[in-house]
Every structure is written in structure tokens, then in C-alpha cells.
Amino acid sequence: MRPQTMVEKILSRNVGRQVEFGEIVVAKPDLVYAHDGTAPLAIKVMRDAPEIYRVLDPGRVVFVVDHASPPPTVAAASVHREMRLFAKEFGVRLIDVGEGICHQVIPELGLVKPGDVVVGADSHTTTLGALASFATGVGSTDTAIAMALGKVWLRVPEAVKVVVTGELPVGVMGKDLALHIVGTVGADGMTYRAMEFWGDGLKHLSMDSRMTICNMGVEAGAKVALMPTDEVALNWFEGVGLHGVGRVVPDEGAEYVDTLEFELGRLEPVVAAPPSVDNVVPVSEVVGVEVDQVFIGSCTNGRYEDFLTAAKVFRGRRVREGVRCVAIPASRRVFTRLLRDGVVEVLVRAGCVVAHSTCGPCIGAHLGLLASGEVAVSTSNRNFVGRMGHEGSRVYLASPATAAASAVEGRVADPRKYLS
Amino acid sequence: MLVRGRAWKLGDNVSTDHIISGKYKFKAIHSLEEMLPYLLAEVRPGFYREVRPGDVIVAGRNFGCGSSREHAPRLIKLAGVGAVIARSFARIFYRNSINIGLPVVEVRELPGITADGDLIEVDLEGGVVRNLTKGFEEAFRGYPREILEIVREGGIIEYVRRHGDLPWGGGTG
């Protein structure tokens, strides 16, 4: 058999034969999930088509109430209720208000393992590629079909080999690598393609960092972004109660359409300046831009390591007067660990508003929207015009370290002076 | 399948947030009809009122990037748009459009020479798009047979209702 990419291995095993790049296959997802931004439309699609108003295998479906949660509007409350009723009717597991953001809480519950095919009704489903699963974002109709038939059609993507070497310098985070990649290839540089990570630099990247990096793969247009299973990953799986999972790694000599190389030691803190995610520049070029709001959280950067790093910046310092700093752990489990380790206290004493898990501010749903003329530094994933509020607001995407430093100074700031 | 209508010209990287902003989407999350007035609101104010059945969006690169929200292509279709032509599409938007029966066509040249209001024709089976105003015609790589069937039948749900399964058959692709 010819050497295979991770994508080829996973999809070939799923469909039971060797797949070819570019062909369309029908896969059987191991897990299907949707949230309150996308599940309601999937439910409506199914209600409107009685022939498919069913869930083939409820054990493979999860709903998460995370986007506007708890409901800030009656409309949101209504769709949450509809999700609960549907979940109850079919025996689908529903992860309710405050438990976490889908891409964080689902892997924490041990619901994903290497080699799985996962479809999530959210573009950032690519996050779970960090667990060596073929995890890709789909729409509500795909979700309806996947729930009813247990199938999804997929074009087998060509893969790009992304080699990372070395180790990140102090004050530079996985998010900086993620932004650097998007800035290098552009917002459509990976469209229809898979990213597969290689290299001796991976062993220095925590699972939290890996999830950030795979999360942002979709911002370059990637269909999936996969990390091989190594000791770091196996330890992590043990930690979530999944013992003895198999490894998925690419074969030496597998066929890639392109290769990119990144030397971690040479990276510096960067931001994506408004209004596009690939408008990536070193923090040093925008230092001093005045900031009204800082948001630390989201499926991109709401994990333990993110707040631990932010707290190192905040310890003994205060959020600058006139700046609101919203900190939102991505799951209850993350929140609990942060409480246990005293991190929440550091954040609160520094003047951060610490809230329950929700996607909230990232999508302009609630808990910190922006007025016209306001500027935010956000650890989330998108800075499109109007994304977090008024169309006249602006968003700089950055790492939690850069965000915290910016909150302290009230201006975009380089975090390295607080961390070295 | 022939679509003919006026062109609505849009630029590069029009995201699903531009098409339907999250803040409006969550205000009206229970109803596509209530979301409709916010369609492209910060890009082309009044679009939902002025668009006529069969009109065609003609865009640049990476159309529909960002969020997986299927509300974006659904609202475009609900507003009466007959097809979207772009230099390239983000993949989730592209598959969502096929799944709901909204024709999406990738071509290199036509977006560059098209102006707002030009008369556009899309021939899905023939694999050609025409700017009738400019007398310009460009071929595109046609859909695979199964995808064409899905679009022709009005979307994957309609296809499955009629045929009982996906057009590729039983899981072996």
C-alpha cells in the first residue's frame, strides 16, 4: 500500500476502501454535533421533511447550548427550549447552559478519539483535529442528514504538510503561530485542503496550544487541520478518561500538495489587524493603539493555559481604567481548574469581568459588544467588520498574553516584557 | 437549469458575517423571515428589498468565508437570488449552497468585467455563464453528476425525500 496522509488513513478506514484525493465519498460520522446557532435550523429542516424526522443513532449526536447562553433574548430562550425538547424526544445528549463551548466540552468529555470522523455544525470544528480526528465544519442541512441517515458526503481533500520545528520563545503562544500561518497563506490559502502538522516542534506544544492552532485552520479556509497522536496527546487522552486509544500518524513519504515550514523559535507576538484575519503584523507595529475592550476566551483561547498565561501578566497589576476586560473560560472544567489554582482570583483582583462559559462576545451575541469607534483586542478568531458589535468598531486578534498586556496598558502592548 | 437576472456585484472575502451578522442572527435566531432585513445589511443596505427573483450575486474571492451558518445561503435564496458566481468560495458556504439547492459557480474572469445591474445568465447543465450586457461568456467546470442532481432537485433534503438516500448510494462512495 502506498504511504498515506492522516486524512487518507482516516477516511479510507471509515468508508472501507482506499479513497482518492478529490473524489466525493459518503462517510459515516462517529460524532455529529450542533449548537444553538445551528441546531435550531437543523431541527426545522427535519420538521419540514417528515421522511427524515428521526435520529438514526442518538449515541453519536450531541447538542451544546453555548452561543447565546444563558439566553440573552426571548428568541434565544425559545430555540434553546426547542433543542431540549428535540434532544429529549430522540434521546440525544444535550450539554446545557454553562457547561462549555462545544469544541472544548466535547473533547473534555472523552467523546472524540484519534481516527474518528466528526462533523460539527460550526466552522471551528477543525479544533478537534488536534486529537487526530477528521473533524470538519458543516451546515445545518448536513447535520440534519447526518442525524437522520448517519451519513455525510465529503470531498477527500488534498493535504498540505506543515512542519514546525524548535520551541516558542517566552511570551509567544500557539495563537501567534496560528495567526502567523493564516497571515502567511492568506484567508483562502488552504481552501478545500487539509493541513497536517509534522515536526519536532510539536512535542513542545501542549494540547491547549494544538487546539488553538487547529481551531484557526479554518481561518485559512482549511477543511481539517490534523496533529499526529504522540505522547503529549496520549497523556491528554488519559486525563479525560480515554485509556488505550490508538494512534493516528501520517506515513513517511505520504503525498502532499505543498509543504510549509515554521521555526517556532523565530516567531514573535503578532496580531491580526482589522478588518481581516490574514492582516497579520508583529505586535510592535501596532503598539500604542488605544483599546476599549479586551476579551480573553472563545473556542480559540478559552483554555487553562490561556488564562494561566494571562494571569502571569495580571498578577500584581490592574486592568487600565476605562478598559473593560472580559474573561470567559471555555468550559466549566476549565473554570473549575482555574478556581482551584487561584487563577480566577488573580483575574478578578486585576479587574477582569469573569463570566460563565459562552461564545457570547466573539459573535456579538452578548456579554461585551462594541460601540461605533471602539477598539477591542480579542483572543477569538474573527475580526470581520461588525463581528463583535457596531460596524464602526474594530477588532485586533491576539494571544491571551498580548490581550492581557493590552488590558493592563489600555493600548495594544507587547506581552514579552511582563513574562520574561 | 437556466438562471437569468441582474448582477449584484460584491468584492473579495465576503464572509457569512457580512451576509448575516451574528448579532442580528441571534436577535432573530428563531426565524429566517425575521433575519431577512439584515441580509448583507452592512455591505449593501436595502439589498433584501431591491433584489428581484433570479438576480445573481457576482463576487470575488473566498465568498462565504467564516462561520458555518447556513442561514447565509438560505437568506440569499429566500431573498430570491437565483445563483451566486464568484472567483472562489469558502468550502462550507459552497457545500451548504449545494445542500439547499442554491447554484454556486466558480469562474475566473466574469466577476472582473461585470458591473452592477448587468444581465447575467447561468446555464448549469451547459457549464457556461454569460454576461449578456457585455457580450461575454465563460465556461466553468460542471458539477459532478450527483451534485447536479441535488441542485436540480432543490437541495439534498428534497433529493433524499424523493429517492430515500444520498445520490452516491450506500456509504462506499
3-state secondary structure chain B: CEEEEEEEECCCCCEHHHHCCHHHHHHCCCCHHHHHHHCCCCCCCCHHHHCCCCCEEEECCCECECCCCCHHHHHHHHCCCCEEEECCECHHHHHHHHHHCCCEEECCCHHHHCCCCCEEEEECCCCEEEECCCCEEEECCCCCHHHHHHHHCCCHHHHHHHHCCCCCCCCCC
ipTM of the complex: 0.95
How many contacts, defined by CB atoms under 8 Å, are there between A and B? Answer: 172
Percent of chain A with pLDDT over 70: 100
Nearest CA distance, A343 vs chain B (angstrom): 31
Q: Average pLDDT in the B107-122 region?
A: 98
In a mutational test of the B interface, the residue from A15, A17, A26 whose CB has the highest number of chain B CBs within 10 Å is A26
Give the per-residue pLDDT at A238.
Answer: 98
Cβ(A307)–Cβ(A331) under 8 Å? no
Task: Name residues whose C-beta falls within 8 Å of residue A74's C-beta, 6 or more positions apart in sequence.
Answer: none
Residues of B in contact with A276 (CB under 8 A): 13
Closest by Cα among A38, A41, A247 to A124: A38
In chain A, positions 182-221, which contact chain B (CB-CB < 8 Å)? 187-188, 191-192, 221
Cβ(A141)–Cβ(A240) under 8 Å? no
Q: Average pLDDT in the A38-49 region?
A: 97
Q: Does B65 touch chain A (CB under 8 A)?
A: yes
What kind of fold does domain A272-419 have according to CATH? Aconitase; domain 3 (3.30.499)
Give the per-residue pLDDT at A418.
Answer: 98
Domain ranges of chain A: 6-246+255-263, 272-419
Cβ(A343)–Cβ(A302) under 8 Å? no
Alpha-carbon radius of gyration of chain B? 16
Alpha-carbon radius of gyration of chain A? 20
For B2-142, give the CATH class: alpha beta
| pLDDT of A285 over the 80 cut | yes
In chain B, positions 102-141, which contact chain A (CB-CB < 8 Å)? none
Give the per-residue pLDDT at A82.
Answer: 98
Q: How many CB atoms lie within 10 A of CB B171?
A: 17
Give the per-residue pLDDT at B27.
Answer: 82
* Type of residue at A44: K
pLDDT tens column, A74-86: 999 999 999 999 9
Give the per-residue pLDDT at B29.
Answer: 81
Per the prediction, chain A carries an average pLDDT of 97
In chain B, positions 22-61, which contact chain A (CB-CB < 8 Å)? 22-23, 25-32, 42, 61
CA distance B42 to A18: 46
Residues of B in contact with A188 (CB under 8 A): 13, 61-62, 65, 88, 90
Give the per-residue pLDDT at A1.
Answer: 80
Residue in A122, A144, A369 closest to B23 by CB = A369
Q: How many CB atoms lie within 10 A of CB A368?
A: 23
Residue B173 pLDDT class (50, 70, 90 cuts): very low
Residue in B29, B74, B146 closest to A79 by CB = B29
Cβ separation B161–A49 shorter than 8 A: yes
| pLDDT of A37 over the 80 cut | yes
Using DSSP's 3-state secondary structure scheme, residue A226 falls into strand
Give the per-residue pLDDT at A32.
Answer: 98
Give the per-residue pLDDT at A208.
Answer: 98
Nearest CA distance, A214 vs chain B (angstrom): 15
pLDDT tens column, B81-96: 999 999 999 999 999 9
> Which region, left, alpha or beta, applies to residue B65 given φ > 0 means left and ψ of -120 to 50 means alpha?
beta
Residues of B in contact with A86 (CB under 8 A): none
User: In chain B, which residue's Cα lies nearest the Cα of A364?
Assistant: B23
Give the per-residue pLDDT at B119.
Answer: 98
Nearest CA distance, A416 vs chain B (angstrom): 31
| pLDDT of B170 over the 60 cut | no
| pLDDT of B171 over the 80 cut | no
Cβ separation B160–A73 shorter than 8 A: no
CA distance A60 to A5: 26
Give CA torsion, residues A59, A61, A62, A63, to 10 deg: -140
User: In chain B, which residue's Cα lies nearest the Cα of A369?
Assistant: B23
User: In chain A, which residue's Cα lies nearest the Cα of B34?
Assistant: A75
pLDDT tens column, A325-377: 999 999 999 999 999 999 999 999 999 999 999 999 999 999 999 999 999 99
Cβ separation B90–A188 shorter than 8 A: yes
Q: Does B162 touch chain A (CB under 8 A)?
A: no
Residues of A in contact with B91 (CB under 8 A): 191-192, 221, 223
pLDDT tens column, B30-68: 889 999 999 999 899 999 999 999 999 999 999 999 999
Residue A300 pLDDT class (50, 70, 90 cuts): very high
Give the per-residue pLDDT at B25.
Answer: 82
Q: Does B163 touch chain A (CB under 8 A)?
A: no
pLDDT tens column, A408-417: 999 999 999 9
Q: Does B97 touch chain A (CB under 8 A)?
A: no
In a mutational test of the A interface, the residue from B15, B26, B31, B44 whose CB has the highest number of chain A CBs within 10 Å is B26
pLDDT tens column, A182-224: 999 999 999 999 999 999 999 999 999 999 999 999 999 999 9
Give the per-residue pLDDT at B28.
Answer: 84
Residue B172 pLDDT class (50, 70, 90 cuts): very low
Residues of B in contact with A75 (CB under 8 A): 26-31
Domain ranges of chain B: 2-142
Cβ separation A188–B13 shorter than 8 A: yes
User: In chain A, which residue's Cα lies nearest the Cα of B14?
Assistant: A384
**In CATH, A6-246+255-263 is 3.30.499.10:** yes
In a mutational test of the A interface, the residue from B33, B77, B91 whose CB has the highest number of chain A CBs within 10 Å is B91
Residue in B23, B95, B173 closest to A138 by CB = B95
